[in-house]
Structure 1
Amino acid sequence: MAQAQTAEGQSLPPVTVTASRFPSDPAAAPIGATVITAEDIRAAGINNVNEAIRKLGGVFGRQSTTGTQDYSLDLRGFGGSSDQNLVILVDGIRLSENELSNALTSSVPVELVERIEIVRGGSSVLYGEGATGGTIQIITKRGPRQGTRGTVVAEVGNFGHRELRGYAAKGWDGFSIDASIGTLQTDNYRDNNRLKQGNFSGGMQWSFDQGRAGLRVDSLRQDSRFAGSLTLAQFLANPRQTTSPGDFGSNDVDRFTFFAERRIGSVDLAAELSRREKTNRGNFESGFGTFVSRADSRYTQFSPRLRQTSNFGAISNEVVTGLDFGRWSRRTDSSFGGFPSSAADASQRSAAFYVRDEIRTGGLRVAAGVRAEKFSKDFSDPLSFSNTGYQRDHRLNAWDLQASYRVMPRFDVFGKAGRSYRVANVDENALTPVLNQALEPQTSRDLEIGATLGDAAGKATVRAFRHRLNNEIFFDPTIGFGGANVNLDPTRREGVELEASTRIGKAYALKAVLQHVSAKFTDGPNAGREVVLVPRNTALLRMSWMPGNGHSADVGVQWVDSQRYGGDFGNTCSARIPSFATVDGRYALRRGPWEFALVGTNLANRDYFSNAFGACRSGIYPENGRQLKLSARYDF
């Protein structure tokens, strides 16, 4: 892999990727992975992690219902349950939730990001439940061994946008500290959709010849007002209006992580111990009264593991084995019209063992792995009108087999096969067709073949994939009076993905990402019907201009095909969520340590929406209109 290049053409250390939950050299990159570097993010003028995943990684996302930056991300067409079918991690620690809410990627300051690795397809062997669609790993920067570095960014824009971010790190002979702080205030595009957000991330690290150890603290405070959903008629009349002027809520998240790595001969040892505490509050008004809720959740993860590497002539072998322990709990209290309506306690405990072996010789790589995991789920709510309590244990297994072969210089073919799984979260089990009966686990048989041609100067990767799912966990709006979470009849996701990048001369770079996916029922009364909220085609095209004289520009176009409304489970609605294309761009000027930039999103000022969970022509959450932002950045 070629070295990354800064805007001034200076070389950076080679980008390494984590194929086996350990730092690896580029030759051991996850097969078929997409890597977004810190310089990619900066060149595109992107100021949050979620936007980088969507606009640089080509991952489809749906507008947040709360007006935050935390779009629902969808790898391989899982529709309304997409968040539950991918795993998002920060340095190996899960951000994905055990409830029906998006992973809060906004808790990760963008200046702290070293790279983002997107691995599409089943990844349950290494990362456990919920990784059928794939994984998104956010890798943060390590502090400098010597010296000081930092960045300050100020940005203003229309819709009342004001943002200030700062990052600094200092090192002394292997000991380093860093801190990142940010504040964001915006009225957003719609009425009653104001957002106030504050971030802090700080850490310290001791590096030595054969390893490192450190501590990190991350905090997020979000206060937002909820604009609510619209019908199609309301959207066409005024997409900026609110239907819920009295609704608001907040998220408070604190994450504490200890990590350690040590090399002893040919063996690497590593472990993370993390604790996440989250408080979610909501206030929702209606003509019948006010619903007020508070949920306090705690999640602890402990992940010890080891890697042993060996060489036998021209053959190298890497064996990784580890344990994952997780413990999650939540207390929910709510009232309606002043009367208690919920006093729920929920918990989930998990314990897993996994092992993965990879052999490399010449141009051949072969890897195989297995995982066994046990889950114990408990729930009780004496005030509930649906499920009041259950206790369930699940034992699940995953496996995968991967191979790649270098047919000739700059041309590789690869294939993957495996089994992945996920278990229903507490909110899905709270509303099921049979009282107090939790849902069965979802399983998937995963298959992928592909090829890569080229190198860092110009590269193309194509993949064909298929996921055959049994007991898929999904919300069915046709059951009962308002719908229920169910295990679906067998379903299938299959399609083709293409990623390509090239340089045009010394100053221009071009990147394209295309995806075609078919998501359908394969058996039962719904056989042949489409799964809702899944666009058949998505496309991304970006061009960068960096002539090396301090000027730079970046332009991107995203196109999303039409899709079925979230409530159109029977495929009977004559209307679909319309297809849309958007354009964003950035121009920047660097002078010494300063950079000044103009950023524009939705430059054509299109009225469109990516999220509509309701029945036919309803449940619409409009996307933002045209936004222009000016920023100033100082590096030291």
Structure 2
Amino acid sequence: MKFAVVPRSAPAFKPLALACALSLSVLAANAAAQESLPSIVVTGARFPAQTAAAPIGATVITAEDIRRAGATDVNAAIRKVGGVYGRQSLDASPDFALDLRGFGSNSAQNLVILVDGVRLNENELSNAVLSSIPVDTVERIEIQRGGSSVLYGEGATGGVINIITRRAGASGTHGSLFAEAGRFDAHDLRGSLSHGAGPWSLDVAVADRGTDNYRKNSQFKQKTASGGVQYSHGAGRAGLRFERSEQDARFPGSLTEAQFLANPRQTLTPDDFGTLDTDRYTAFVEHRIGAVELAAELSRREREVEANYFYMMGGAKVASRVRYDASQTQFSPRLRHTAALGGMRNELVAGLDLVRWERQTSSDFSRGDAEQDAKAVYLRNEILWNAPHNARLAIGGRHERFTKDYSDPLAFPPVLNEHRKQSINAWSLEGSIDVLPQVTVFAKAGRSYRIANVDENSLRSGPEVLAPQTSRDLELGVSAGSAARQISARLFRHRLKDEIFYDPTIGWGANTNLDPTRRQGVEVEGQHALTQDLRLNAKWQRVDAEFTGGPNAGREMVLVPKNVVTLRAAWTPAGGHSADIGAQWVDSQRYGSDFSNSCGTRIPSYTTLDARYAYRVGGWEAAVSGLNLADRQYYSNAFGCRSGIYPSDGRQLKLSLRYAF
């Protein structure tokens, strides 16, 4: 709820070799005739960086990519354009559970999501609320796959998604108005305005969206507002931002397989509902003094969550109410020093991450109040050789300490003033080299980690808090080509110790540290400009997730599709026309409770299609778009064998009108 060793062979290695051979033989042969990569400013080592110093293996989604695909929120953009697998939300919201590298039902806890460098993750079992970020304010989205705990701390084993909003407006006044309506009484109204005058710039955005959704009792409504002011000068910039989001959602609940086949739109919980209100404030500053760059963010996030559930007892309807009030404060100062050393460039980054999280709970079954303080220091040094092979070598380390306090007098047995301390280290070693013109080989190795959150520790398998989860990470890859024709392939492996996971086989079910597990596989991304007007791109991820020790050794992990394939085509001819069409195929996967791999069936594979056509005249743009165009009945979330099923949405058709000035 958002509101809450017998190793097998490694079949993934063979496709990687094939992909590497393809990229080397085909693209390197044509490298001299291809264009050079565009210069895109991304976030390298938590500071702005040009393409040459971009995070190794990163994927960048631009604002134009988002608009062309018709993504109405950040979560949809990451799934549609970035090819990231997303699992249907449980509360009818558009905040799907994003999964990098096959972490199943705990994918949200193995992925760090940032907005302008500030963590959006909560210290609880919930997904990051990306729908609260006004999509019109997003400049780009950066996806870094693989272990990244040195720079981003706990939970970054699967990777990092960094959402960058527009911080500086062009001179003058600019803005846009957007209106969309569609099936299931869906509506989306948005407006944004920015003004720049000399060193000052400001912006504001508001949105009102809602839908009855596909299933009964799954209505969703959301209102958001955001704004910011920034002052820029030659040596840096400083600014303030705020965001406010109010959500009202109905909870359709789960179905059995028989109920899904009979009517996937039905609900067995017609009265359940909840609300989520979020406020976020951020102050940032950046300043350069000679060869030293200084930067810091200070942020405060407050959340009020309420959920209401109804059930029958003794022939009467009984209500159960849960309320959380949570807050998080983060301060992240850092510095970067750059120096030329002969034919080399050295970059040293050092920083602190100080985070305090608090939550008060009020419900019929819990009064669990919790606090967590996290203090981290990290250091990363990178050397770049520009000639003749544009080589890079980086090494980094991080130390983080956690202090946890928890009390719940209603727990069984009661928990009073529990106080625990934990500390953990991470390291990374990565490098790349251009072995041929426009052909880069790269490698990454390291150790990442995750700490159990308050929800996991409050329902644990033993008297002590759960041990930290650690992962030994390894990645090898190759990238070849240019903006017109490019392919990259990565082979990855995460060997996990004490993975934190909910085990349904322990009593009535409890969170525990699992026996050793492993994620390994291949990621292949490619793009090709067939003509000046037509561009194709494709992404394929294969993950083998399994136990490597204990009584379950050799068995598959649950809720992890082996293969996810995403294909997209973008057509942008002259004359104001544009079209974008995409397809995603998701392989079958184990049901959420099937630790023993004994369930006689699996969650079926499925394919979804989406498309958008738009016509632009001056500042006006009209568009028609559709999701799940084949009206496929499918599901990606199911927590029992043939039960606990949360059906995914049916066909959605929408019309929109946009005016930019």
TM-score, normalised with respect to structure 2: 0.92
Matched residue, 1:463 = 490
Q: Distance in 2 between matches of 1:556 and 1:583?
A: 6
- Cα deviation digits, residues 386-445 of structure 1 (max 9, x gap): 56243211110000000000011110000000000010000000001224x210000000
Q: Distance in 2 between matches of 1:344 and 1:503?
A: 55
2:429 maps to 1:405: no
Matched residue, 1:452 = 479
Q: Distance in 1 between matches of 2:638 and 2:177?
A: 37
Matched residue, 1:530 = 556
Q: Distance in 2 between matches of 1:197 and 1:256?
A: 19
Matched residue, 2:189 = 164
Matched residue, 1:379 = 406
Once superposed, what is the RMSD of the aligned Cα atoms?
Answer: 1.1
Matched residue, 2:327 = 298
Give the partner amino acid of 1:458: R
Matched residue, 2:86 = 61
Q: Distance in 2 between matches of 1:217 and 1:631?
A: 27
Aligned pairs, number: 617
| Secondary structure of the corresponding residue to residue 42 of structure 2 | coil
2:291 maps to 1:263: no
2:513 maps to 1:484: no
Give the partner amino acid of 1:491: T
Matched residue, 1:618 = 643
Q: Distance in 2 between matches of 1:111 and 1:591?
A: 20
Give the partner amino acid of 2:74: V
| Secondary structure of the corresponding residue to residue 67 of structure 2 | helix
Q: 1:131 to 1:461 in 2, by over 3 A?
A: same
Matched residue, 2:527 = 501
Give the partner amino acid of 1:352: A
Determine if contact 2:38/2:483 at 8 Å carries over to the other structure: no
Matched residue, 1:106 = 131
| Secondary structure of the corresponding residue to residue 544 of structure 1 | strand
| Secondary structure of the corresponding residue to residue 514 of structure 1 | strand
Q: 1:510 to 1:387 in 2, by over 3 A?
A: farther
2:458 maps to 1:423: no
Displacement, 1:18? 0.8
Determine if contact 1:386/1:431 at 8 Å carries over to the other structure: no
Matched residue, 2:374 = 350
Give the partner amino acid of 1:326: V
Determine if contact 2:449/2:471 at 8 Å carries over to the other structure: yes
Q: Distance in 2 between matches of 1:249 and 1:90?
A: 25
| Secondary structure of the corresponding residue to residue 95 of structure 2 | coil
Q: Percent identity?
A: 59
Matched residue, 2:422 = 394
Matched residue, 1:328 = 357
Matched residue, 1:4 = none
| Secondary structure of the corresponding residue to residue 84 of structure 1 | helix
| Secondary structure of the corresponding residue to residue 342 of structure 1 | coil
Determine if contact 1:542/1:555 at 8 Å carries over to the other structure: yes
Q: Distance in 2 between matches of 1:449 and 1:111?
A: 36
Q: Distance in 1 between matches of 2:42 and 2:401?
A: 29
2:583 maps to 1:557: yes
Matched residue, 2:155 = 130
Q: Distance in 2 between matches of 1:236 and 1:592?
A: 48
Determine if contact 1:143/1:170 at 8 Å carries over to the other structure: no
Give the partner amino acid of 1:432: R
Give the partner amino acid of 1:607: Q
Displacement, 1:312? 1.7
- Cα deviation digits, residues 328-383 of structure 1 (max 9, x gap): 00000002xxxxx3212101001000000010002100011000000001110001
| 116-125 vs 19-28, greater mean Cα deviation | 19-28
| Secondary structure of the corresponding residue to residue 284 of structure 1 | strand
Structure 1 alignment gaps of length 5 or more: 1-11, 336-340
- Cα deviation digits, residues 264-307 of structure 1 (max 9, x gap): 00100000000000010000011132210110001000000000
Question: Match for 1:216 among 200, 224, 241?
Answer: 241
Determine if contact 1:496/1:516 at 8 Å carries over to the other structure: yes
Displacement, 1:314? 1.4
Q: Distance in 2 between matches of 1:174 and 1:26?
A: 27
Determine if contact 1:60/1:538 at 8 Å carries over to the other structure: yes
Matched residue, 2:342 = 313
Displacement, 1:462? 0.1
| Secondary structure of the corresponding residue to residue 125 of structure 1 | helix
2:253 maps to 1:228: yes
Displacement, 1:385? 2.6
Give the partner amino acid of 1:128: G
Give the partner amino acid of 1:396: I
| Secondary structure of the corresponding residue to residue 142 of structure 1 | coil
Determine if contact 1:387/1:431 at 8 Å carries over to the other structure: no
| Secondary structure of the corresponding residue to residue 76 of structure 2 | helix
Q: Distance in 1 between matches of 2:479 and 2:446?
A: 21
2:214 maps to 1:189: yes
Give the partner amino acid of 1:216: R
- Cα deviation digits, residues 489-538 of structure 1 (max 9, x gap): 00000000000011011110001000100000000001001100000000
| Secondary structure of the corresponding residue to residue 368 of structure 2 | strand
Displacement, 1:14? 3.9
Q: 1:419 to 1:271 in 2, by over 3 A?
A: same
Displacement, 1:457? 1.1
TM alignment of 1:45-56, pairs within 5 A: 45-56=70-81
Determine if contact 1:112/1:140 at 8 Å carries over to the other structure: yes
Q: Distance in 2 between matches of 1:454 and 1:533?
A: 35
| Secondary structure of the corresponding residue to residue 419 of structure 1 | strand
2:598 maps to 1:572: yes
Displacement, 1:142? 2.2
- Cα deviation digits, residues 9-56 of structure 1 (max 9, x gap): xxx994211111011112111000010000001111111000010111
Question: Match for 1:518 among 544, 548, 556?
Answer: 544
| Secondary structure of the corresponding residue to residue 52 of structure 1 | helix
Give the partner amino acid of 1:107: S
Question: Match for 1:601 among 613, 619, 627?
Answer: 627
Question: Match for 2:392 among 358, 365, 386?
Answer: 365
- Cα deviation digits, residues 542-572 of structure 1 (max 9, x gap): 0011112101110000000000111111111
Displacement, 1:143? 2.4
Determine if contact 1:77/1:535 at 8 Å carries over to the other structure: yes
| Secondary structure of the corresponding residue to residue 532 of structure 1 | coil
Q: Distance in 2 between matches of 1:103 and 1:81?
A: 12
Determine if contact 2:169/2:203 at 8 Å carries over to the other structure: no
Determine if contact 2:486/2:528 at 8 Å carries over to the other structure: yes
| Secondary structure of the corresponding residue to residue 51 of structure 1 | helix
| Secondary structure of the corresponding residue to residue 180 of structure 2 | strand
Displacement, 1:96? 1.0
Q: Distance in 2 between matches of 1:222 and 1:619?
A: 25
> Does 1 or 2 have the higher relative contact order (CA < 8 Å, sep 6+)?
2
| 595-604 vs 283-292, greater mean Cα deviation | 283-292
Displacement, 1:227? 0.3
Question: Match for 1:581 among 602, 607, 612?
Answer: 607
Determine if contact 1:387/1:430 at 8 Å carries over to the other structure: no
Determine if contact 1:163/1:184 at 8 Å carries over to the other structure: yes
Question: Match for 1:284 among 309, 322, 331?
Answer: 309
Matched residue, 2:652 = 627
Q: Distance in 2 between matches of 1:490 and 1:258?
A: 42
Question: Match for 1:175 among 200, 214, 232?
Answer: 200
Q: Distance in 1 between matches of 2:231 and 2:413?
A: 51
Q: Distance in 2 between matches of 1:214 and 1:305?
A: 17
Give the partner amino acid of 1:198: K
TM alignment of 1:14-93, pairs within 5 A: 14-93=39-118
